[in-house]
Structure 1
């Protein structure tokens, strides 16, 4: 009789375990389907809200991953795995993964922030992480820059977030500065007037903010003028270099000198004192 009761109890336990395992598998099958549908709904909602495709894809995968994690935990509990050891194992695993991926998680977090707050966009000329370049692509982990000499730099987003970000395109226009020296015998007012005429002649130089020219220094061999003007960001390099050339050509036409450093030597002729040995 005792053996019969034991066999019945064992059969009941086996049946309960089989049912729990079946329910756990059912939870997984249905749960995977529901998680995929919920994640897709979230992604479509973000796309309708005009959220960046990279960010919407990341958030879709994040929602899906969280749902799958909860699904697996629920299935394990339903299958009869004790909750306390399971919670301890999950906590230890999460801590180990977090420590191992500390740098990657930092890059990921900054990637999300860069996509949300948009301090720069693809095509902008920037200085990030101490590197100057044009933004070619922004991902969740890295930002790709095209350098002036056609090299490509891949900068971790964590490094970008930990440093200053300088965006040269954000305002749409920039100021450039030139320094020009004229001779001490030249008319300063006339030189300034000639430069102002060049401002008016170049449509790429903006009139608001107004350009200007000032006297900034009396050097060893020249009176130094500083020229400051504004242009659209796309026209900056051409406007700056063309204006510098135009100033040189205009000064040459008007006889205004641009001196270069030089020294004047004064030779004094006379009779050497008696007894002075001749110099070699």
Structure 2
């Protein structure tokens, strides 16, 4: 009897020792696997936010597997535990459905890279510089120093403009002139300004053309190309130059004419 008890407790002690060893080995194995995955992702130049998210999910998932394995080693039935964890996971996923969509959108943005930190984008009337790309939100700082927090769901499901995607941009200025203006003289003067500007590109070539004729005005389109870095400088300098040319050449700005027609009614007011 005593021998059976000793044997029983010896088996139990050995099983407990094996379980502790299994737990320690499994716990350290998780760290090794995470370290290997982290190195692989760094070599792949994956964004740090995505890397941290994937490592966190792997860390939780692998540790749950280790804990379930340890519990099974102790002889505790794990079927019901797995069922509870599955049900709880489904309930959490359902409750966090919108957040999970946002996370998926954030990962999509970070992998596809339609824009990166420092790019100038426009969405929903906001124009600014991308300050940070998080899993749920993208933070944009507008030019008047307002922080705009945009859900990644909106960025993935709607259209936006990335002004920094290409290295160069076209400066486009629309002008209204009086029909009597010497357009060729104006074009010649403005083209000289564009050609002498240090940041206006020679290729693609600048262009000044008539885009529309109206009864009281002529519309001109001014096109000049510049790098993203100097876009606003070229745009502002051309506007100033255009104003000076208007003054030098005494160009008239067309005014809108409103014709008012008064129609006399045939009503007889004598009996009123």
TM norm structure 1? 0.81
The counterpart of 1:186, out of the listed 175, 181, 186, is 181
Aligned match for 1:166, one of 140, 152, 161: 161
SS in 2 for 1:176: strand
Match of 2:268 in 1: none
Cα displacement (A) at 1:18: 5.7
Alignment-derived partner of residue 37 in structure 2: 42
2:192 matched residue in structure 1:
197
Give the Å deviation of 1:21. Answer: 4.6
After superposition, the C-alpha distances for 1:160-189 in whole angstroms (9 at most, x for unaligned) are 222224211010111122121222222222
- Match 1:156 to one of 119, 143, 151: 151
Structure 2 contact 186–245 (Cα < 8 Å) conserved:
no
> Where do 5+ consecutive residues of structure 1 fail to align?
266-280
| Offset, 1:61 | 2.6
Of the candidates 199, 202, 209, which is equivalent to residue 204 of structure 2? 209
Q: In the alignment, is residue 126 of structure 1 matched against residue 108 of structure 2?
A: no
Distance 1:182 1:164 in 2: 35
**Candidates 246, 253, 257, aligned match of 1:258:** 253
Rg larger in structure:
1
Measure, in 2, the Cα distance between the counterparts of 1:259 and 1:164: 36
The CA distance in 2 between the partners of 1:101 and 1:21, in whole Å, is 38
Pairing 1:59–2:54 present? yes
CA distance, structure 2, for counterparts of residue 94 and residue 16 of structure 1: 36
Mark the runs of 5 or more structure 2 residues left unpaired by the alignment.
261-272
Residue number among 242, 246, 259 corresponding to 2:241 in the alignment? 246
Report the aligned-residue RMSD.
Answer: 2.8
CA distance in 1, matches of 2:246, 2:229: 28
Change (3 A) 1:155 1:186: closer
Query: What is the DSSP-based 3-state SS (H/G/I as helix, E as strand, rest coil) of the residue aligned with 2:131?
Result: strand
Of the candidates 12, 27, 46, which is equivalent to residue 22 of structure 2? 27
C-alpha distance 41-162 of structure 1, shift in aligned 2 (>3 A): same
How many Å separate the matches in 1 of 2:122 and 2:69?
Answer: 48
Kept in 1, the 8 Å contact 2:22–2:70? The answer is: yes
What is the CA–CA distance in structure 2 between the aligned matches of 1:244 and 1:195, rounded to whole Å?
Answer: 10
Quick one: distance in 2 between partners of 1:177 and 1:31?
Answer: 63
Is residue 213–residue 227 contact of structure 1 (8 Å, CA) maintained in 2?
A: yes
